[in-house]
């Protein structure tokens, strides 16, 4: 059988026969030239649509770059680091994971977003105000209770800059919760008589809030005050899978 005939009978593997086609992406003033298949095989329909537009199909990546708006170069770097190095290859760098959360949320990489959230669940670099800001910005509801607890429990009130960051409505409600917590007449029943909502809530210090100081209220009293002002909130999820690899 001739070589040409033999080759005509060959079939490409459905998964492991890669197209080396490149694409140039422009974010802000920075260009990235990467394997197009990295994006087309991903779950983001937003990016797939961008890369299947006329002019985006280029074997060398030398054509006009595909511009991705509302994304920073640092965020794109985080996404490409994840694509090429994988979860285990990502360094324990807080800013990198924060940028990955941002871009994966904006471009709808849901699986990558879930991994970024799980990694940041345990980050000691994520202050309560930062956690609250990111929870609201990127829709991470189980971070709200952690942030509310930590802010209510601390002795210092919110600074003006912090209030502006999280929004004045939230800041005023947090001030109300702190007022309730520090008023013995409004703080709720003392232990061991605990409202049902307190029983199911894991200790907040186990999720990055820091253990209570001697003069600070316990988690159950804080939970009562927070629930009274903000209503029912998702409980912090047990973050045990990534405890050994904190992002710092």
Phi, psi dihedral angles at 24 (to 5 degrees): -100, 125
Distance CA 102, CA 73 (A): 12
Q: What is the pLDDT of residues 45-56, one digit of tens each?
A: 888 888 877 766
Q: What is the pLDDT of residues 216-230, one digit of tens each?
A: 567 788 888 898 899
Asked if residue 134 has pLDDT above 90, the reply is yes
What's the predicted TM-score (pTM) here? 0.76
What is the side-by-side strand order in the sheet with 30-35?
30-35, 22-27, 66-67
**Strand 22-27 to strand 66-67: parallel, antiparallel, or no bridges (unpaired)?**
parallel
In this structure, the dihedral spanned by the alpha carbons of residues 174, 180, 183 and 184, taken in order and rounded to 10 degrees, is: -140
pLDDT of res. 58: 56
pLDDT band for position 236 (cuts 50, 70, 90): confident
Across 129-138, average pLDDT: 96
């Amino acid at each position: 059988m001739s070589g040409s005939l033999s080759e005509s009978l060959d079939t490409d593997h459905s998964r492991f026969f890669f197209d080396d086609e490149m694409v140039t992406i422009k974010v802000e003033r920075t260009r990235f030239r990467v394997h197009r298949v990295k994006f087309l095989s991903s779950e983001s329909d937003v990016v797939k649509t961008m890369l299947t537009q006329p002019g985006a199909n280029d074997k060398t990546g030398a054509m006009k770059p595909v511009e991705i708006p509302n994304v920073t170069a640092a965020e794109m770097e985080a996404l490409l680091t994840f694509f090429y190095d994988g979860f285990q290859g990502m360094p324990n760098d807080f800013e990198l994971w924060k940028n990955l959360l941002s871009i994966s949320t904006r471009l709808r990489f849901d699986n990558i977003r879930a991994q970024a959230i799980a990694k940041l669940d345990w980050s000691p670099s994520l202050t309560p105000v930062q956690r609250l800001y990111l929870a609201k910005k990127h829709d991470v509801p189980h971070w709200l209770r952690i942030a509310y607890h930590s802010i209510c429990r601390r002795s210092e009130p919110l600074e003006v800059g912090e209030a502006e960051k999280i929004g004045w409505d939230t800041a005023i409600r947090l001030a109300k919760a702190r007022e309730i917590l520090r008023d013995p007449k409004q703080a709720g029943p003392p232990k061991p008589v605990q409202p049902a909502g307190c029983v199911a809530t894991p200790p907040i210090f186990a999720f990055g809030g820091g253990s209570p100081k001697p003069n600070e209220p316990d988690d159950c009293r804080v939970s009562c005050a927070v629930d009274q002002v903000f209503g029912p909130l998702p409980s912090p999820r047990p973050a045990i899978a990534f405890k050994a690899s904190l992002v710092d």
